[in-house]
Structure 1
Amino acid sequence: MMERIQSLGRFLSRMVMPNISAFIAWGALTTLFHSDGWFPNRELEQLIGPIIIYALPLLIAYAGGKAIYGTRGGVIGVIGTMGLVAGTDIPMFIGAMLMGPLGAYILKKIDSAIKDHIPTGFEMLVSNFSAGFLGVLLTVIAYKAIGPLVAVLNEVLKTGVTFVVDRGLLFMASLFIEPGKVLFLNNAINHGVLSPLGIQDALTNGSSIFFLLETNPGPGLGILLAYWFYSKGVARDNAPSAMIIHFFGGIHEIYFPFVVMRPALFGAVILGGMSGVFSFQLLGAGLRATPSPGSIFALLAMAPKSEILAVSTGVIISAVVTFIVACLILKRSPIIEFEEEIEVNEGYASLFKGRPDTFRISKITFACDAGMGSSALGASLLTRVIKQNQMTLPVINVPIDAIPSDSDLVITYSDLIGRAKKQAPNAIHVGIKDFLNKEAYEQLVDAIKAYCIVMEVNMENSKPSEILMKSNILLNRATVSKEEAIKHAGELLYNSGYVGEDYIAGMLAREEKFSTYIGNNVAIPHGENSVKESIIASGIVVVQYPNGVSFGEGKLAKLVIGIAGKGNEHIQLLANIAEAIEDESILEKMLTTNDPEYIYELFSSEGMM
């Protein structure tokens, strides 16, 4: 049950987080130019309504649809959501979160059902008309049925919350908000539940307490202060820097591990959160929009001038209460060191020693729940350690449900490592408890230097100088699904600068319509016509799977060659590839070789370079 809730939370985050800058822009406009704002302006105030009613729900719908079915899904999600927007005068955030993914899912199923029945040459025509007619149907249904239903649901939620608020019990919400945050449900709670309610409340009253319930940095500050005063070793040493990042930078994830280390501290953050909410209620505090990130600066910037003192007081009270309770807990049972973490760090070398061959690594993937907070900080720190060791090894940070399946090395919180392994089962996984532990990164880098071969990959999305680069010939890869293999090839093309990111979705869409398996254990995935504009330069990538990748119906591809052809160059690329693999002895060596130089020289001789 908890895993399903977390999965829902992650998906809600994927819809809202990419558009957080738009929320910030709307909040800034409201704070500055609303009739109750800092600089009231009737003319500029007219921008506030259209953004909240139209732009933000449509952006959410696009993000939700794109997560299900790429750009095509995003577009159909927007079309369907217009029926919701036009059918009501309240912000349709909840409706957009439903309609965006739903429209994309239906379109995906329709495309899958008709892909084998489209006459050659009519693909684009059928593709556009099927989406267009579905868009009309979804818009009408949304306008006539879903819109009114969502409006009723909004009223039910509003009535329920009003019931709690009217009886002065809103502070009881901290019983699930504070533990939920520490369990990495913070984005789902804030963006999926509280923000939509807060926006509606703010439109009526000018500000809303709902924007303060999850974003209040007070409980986290109290926890970190307690560690600074009543702990020793690694925990105490990291507390001051974590305080700065959390309270002034707004990255709340930084304090979550400090709570998890001592489960009794859940009680401290709950009591601190309750105290803060009670203070906000008592003093009439609220914000005009969601503060992001949740720093003290963002809170004060989003607060009406008349409520700045009330907001500050509530934050301070919640921090003090959390601090006192946490001190009592830590004083009774102090934490001296991250003992378990030290044992894991000393075992980094064993992760690589256990591999049958020298481990090849081209990049390191950092993952946290949303991919924007603690993982970004950890990735930044590890990058500095790598540079200090005069190595060239890219480090990326991603949401945990977006870890590339072909990842070589994945770093995440120890509590999330199980979920990370499901995303990239063939990677080496390192679980840590503190993303700011520089010593752990230094030990990890030492192990990489001793036991790994670092494969340099051009991560800059600039135009490459040759069609096939040696770094894009990957051999002896573990078997994955067809979709994962195609996505991997697309990511190599994108990371090398041959294509834009949309091309990857185009490759997957092409495969759903027509198989790119050409026989002789070879597949040549490439994008469909709709993503031709994403091609920056012609290029190919070669990935060898000795045990094969199933492309359906007995089609086993041991060589997956991703292609991007500028203009009509893809035709020549296909011809050159066909010529290179027509000799059975050469093909057999390509399928089994451990020497990337062989494939590089072979394709060079076919005139591709």
Structure 2
Amino acid sequence: MSEVAQTRPSVRVRVQRLGSHLSGMIMPNIGAFIAWGLITAFFIPTGWTPNADLAKLVTPMITYLLPLLIGYTGGKLVYGDRGAVVGAAATIGVIVGSSVPMFLGAMIMGPLGGYCIKQVDKLFKERIPNGFEMLINNFSAGIVGAALGIFAFFLIGPAVNSLSHWLASGVNFLISHNLIPLANIFIEPAKVLFLNNAIGNGILVPLGAEQAKTAGKSILFLLEANPGPGFGLLLAYWVFGKGNARQSAPGAIIIQFLGGIHEIYFPYVLMRPLLILAVMAGGVAGTFTFSILHVGLNAAASPGSIFAVWAMSPKSSILGVTIGVLVAAAVSFLVSALIMKTTKDKSAEGDLTAATSKMEEMKGKKSSVAGALTGAGAAEATGHIAGLDQVNKIVFACDAGMGSSAMGASILRNKVKKADLDVEVTNTSINNLPADADIVLTHKDLTDRAKVKLPNARHISVENFLNSPKYDELVNELKNK
């Protein structure tokens, strides 16, 4: 049993790391996806303000711009600017060698391009004669990019093209047989395990974009981004909860439903594990409503805010999308209320700290991590270092670098400012942690990955993004120094 327990965290971390790499190629380019979605929503023949000339932007953006951005970003994640350039060059081969938008192909060729040029640079690093550095560096990147582009054109493009048609056929089968709501049975639990970015940006967004190209909209954009299930759960806590959970629920509702940061409700689910059934039921009900009303979004709604969902809704779908979100919220609220009224939480009901301990147990964490989060011992367990008076940069990191980390950094930044401390507080993704970060704050489920990325920094684990005692502890510690 102990061996199994020890392997579980590593498997989970590997899955999260893969999802992080996938979403890391999409999230920095979400602005471009939204730009394409807005142009589609307004200017196609069925849009809000049809315009035949401006509608010509739609196809080049989804065919060339978005895949190239993904390939460029994927290469950059692996090997900086040189990897980005070679990744983009390799991606153009897969674009031209296929007949569908090559998001999946770009996710393959971008990192592959970065990896290949990285290995070539290692090979020639000590062998370049003086004065020939620029010549060899430029030509090696060009040769590798050209070779990978040709390779992608003849092999990867057709292979991904066939895979995309197969996946699209599977999605269409689910939609035509009204089975697509069953996807939420798997999506909601995966979200609570912090795989929301992997599912949303790594799988649903690319498939949805391909579907939207032909149909003008896609229900797939709504499966993970629907804010209804989380809203219903938090509303039930506000009405039926106790203690700190009830008091923090209104603020969490604003952040989740309006701000689109779904991670805020994950600890509330784990406070009562049975509540996973509530968000699953809400997700299934919402998606079923979207399906029977034949609605979808033009592009990805990111973050999953109701405002982003409305902004990406075509004119013919906005009412149906709103109804589906409300149905999801209502079902989630009713199931949550039923569970909360008929069951007892034996581990201190309403206590978010107890909930995060449950999160550790469910995810196979070692017990020492819990001790690291219970008070003054946190600094020692997370790598306390001397010389706190020299702290210049605090970084709040999350999986994508745009959701919970932005919220946590904003809260901590205000506390640092009020304390009159000359310390920079910023946020980023774990993959892009800067080398000059002195202190790194992450959700406790992501701290292990952050330590691997930046082992020399001090790492602090946070449980509740909205109201973590670690913020005040850190600020007081810095003030005292």
With structure 2 as the length reference, what TM-score do the two structures score? 0.88
Please tell me the root mean square deviation across aligned C-alpha atoms, in Å: 2.2
Shift of residue 365, structure 1, vs aligned partner? 2.0
Residue type of the alignment partner of 1:98: I
Instruction: Say if 2:372 and 2:378, in contact at 8 Å, map to a contact too.
Output: no
Deviations 1:539-568 (A, max 9, x none): xxxxxxxxxxxxxxxxxxxxxxxxxxxxxx
Partner of 1:250: 260
1:215-226 maps to which residues of 2 (within 5 A)? 215-226=225-236
1:48-447 maps to which residues of 2 (within 5 A)? 48-331=58-341, 332-333=343-344, 335-340=349-354, 347-348=375-376, 351=379, 357-359=386-388, 360-404=390-434, 407-437=437-467, 440-447=470-477
C-alpha distance in structure 2 between counterparts of 1:344 and 1:119, whole Å: 52
Shift of residue 309, structure 1, vs aligned partner? 1.6
C-alpha distance in structure 2 between counterparts of 1:90 and 1:440, whole Å: 48
C-alpha distance in structure 2 between counterparts of 1:106 and 1:414, whole Å: 34
C-alpha distance in structure 2 between counterparts of 1:426 and 1:291, whole Å: 36
Shift of residue 406, structure 1, vs aligned partner? 5.7
- 1:126–1:378 CA distance, 2 compared to 1 (3 A): same
Residue type of the alignment partner of 1:383: R
Residue type of the alignment partner of 1:9: G
Partner of 1:500: none
What secondary structure sits across from 1:415 in the alignment?
Answer: coil
Deviations 1:355-375 (A, max 9, x none): 685544222221222111111
Report which structure shows greater RCO (CA 8 Å, sep ≥6).
2
C-alpha distance in structure 2 between counterparts of 1:262 and 1:448, whole Å: 36
C-alpha distance in structure 2 between counterparts of 1:18 and 1:387, whole Å: 28
Shift of residue 258, structure 1, vs aligned partner? 1.7
Residue type of the alignment partner of 2:406: A
Deviations 1:253-304 (A, max 9, x none): 2222222332222221111111111111111111111112221122122212
What secondary structure sits across from 2:199 in the alignment?
Answer: helix
Shift of residue 222, structure 1, vs aligned partner? 1.0
Instruction: Say if 1:366 and 1:410, in contact at 8 Å, map to a contact too.
Output: yes
C-alpha distance in structure 1 between counterparts of 2:19 and 2:95, whole Å: 24
- 1:74–1:427 CA distance, 2 compared to 1 (3 A): closer
Shift of residue 436, structure 1, vs aligned partner? 1.4
Instruction: Say if 2:393 and 2:437, in contact at 8 Å, map to a contact too.
Output: yes
C-alpha distance in structure 1 between counterparts of 2:353 and 2:297, whole Å: 42
- 1:329–1:440 CA distance, 2 compared to 1 (3 A): farther
Shift of residue 440, structure 1, vs aligned partner? 4.5
C-alpha distance in structure 1 between counterparts of 2:462 and 2:353, whole Å: 12
C-alpha distance in structure 2 between counterparts of 1:143 and 1:326, whole Å: 51
Identity %: 51
Would you tell me which structure has more strand in proportion to its own residues? 1
C-alpha distance in structure 2 between counterparts of 1:164 and 1:227, whole Å: 34
Instruction: Say if 1:345 and 1:444, in contact at 8 Å, map to a contact too.
Output: no
Structure 1: which 5+ residue stretches go unaligned? Answer: 453-609
Instruction: Say if 1:209 and 1:287, in contact at 8 Å, map to a contact too.
Output: yes
Instruction: Say if 1:208 and 1:286, in contact at 8 Å, map to a contact too.
Output: yes
What secondary structure sits across from 1:372 in the alignment?
Answer: coil
What secondary structure sits across from 1:26 in the alignment?
Answer: helix
Shift of residue 52, structure 1, vs aligned partner? 0.7
C-alpha distance in structure 1 between counterparts of 2:385 and 2:300, whole Å: 51
Shift of residue 16, structure 1, vs aligned partner? 0.8
Deviations 1:34-79 (A, max 9, x none): 1110000001000111111010000000000011111111111111
- 1:368–1:97 CA distance, 2 compared to 1 (3 A): same
Shift of residue 328, structure 1, vs aligned partner? 2.3
Residue type of the alignment partner of 1:347: G
- 1:355–1:112 CA distance, 2 compared to 1 (3 A): closer
Instruction: Say if 1:382 and 1:438, in contact at 8 Å, map to a contact too.
Output: no
Structure 2: which 5+ residue stretches go unaligned? Answer: 1-10, 358-370
Shift of residue 345, structure 1, vs aligned partner? 7.2
**Structure 2 residue 36 is matched with structure 1 residue 26:** yes
Residue type of the alignment partner of 2:325: V
- 1:358–1:29 CA distance, 2 compared to 1 (3 A): closer
Shift of residue 85, structure 1, vs aligned partner? 1.6
Figure out how many residues of one structure are paired with residues of the other and give that number.
451
Of 154-163 and 254-263, the range deviating more from structure 2:
254-263
What secondary structure sits across from 1:90 in the alignment?
Answer: coil
Shift of residue 177, structure 1, vs aligned partner? 1.0
Instruction: Say if 1:348 and 1:447, in contact at 8 Å, map to a contact too.
Output: no
Deviations 1:296-330 (A, max 9, x none): 12212221222222111111111111111122223
Partner of 1:572: none
Deviations 1:483-541 (A, max 9, x none): xxxxxxxxxxxxxxxxxxxxxxxxxxxxxxxxxxxxxxxxxxxxxxxxxxxxxxxxxxx
Shift of residue 408, structure 1, vs aligned partner? 3.0
Residue type of the alignment partner of 1:410: V
Match of 1:6 among 7, 12, 16: 16
C-alpha distance in structure 1 between counterparts of 2:79 and 2:16, whole Å: 21
C-alpha distance in structure 2 between counterparts of 1:136 and 1:358, whole Å: 50
Would you tell me which structure has more helix in proportion to its own residues? 2
Partner of 1:537: none
What secondary structure sits across from 1:336 in the alignment?
Answer: coil
Instruction: Say if 1:62 and 1:75, in contact at 8 Å, map to a contact too.
Output: yes
Instruction: Say if 2:13 and 2:449, in contact at 8 Å, map to a contact too.
Output: no
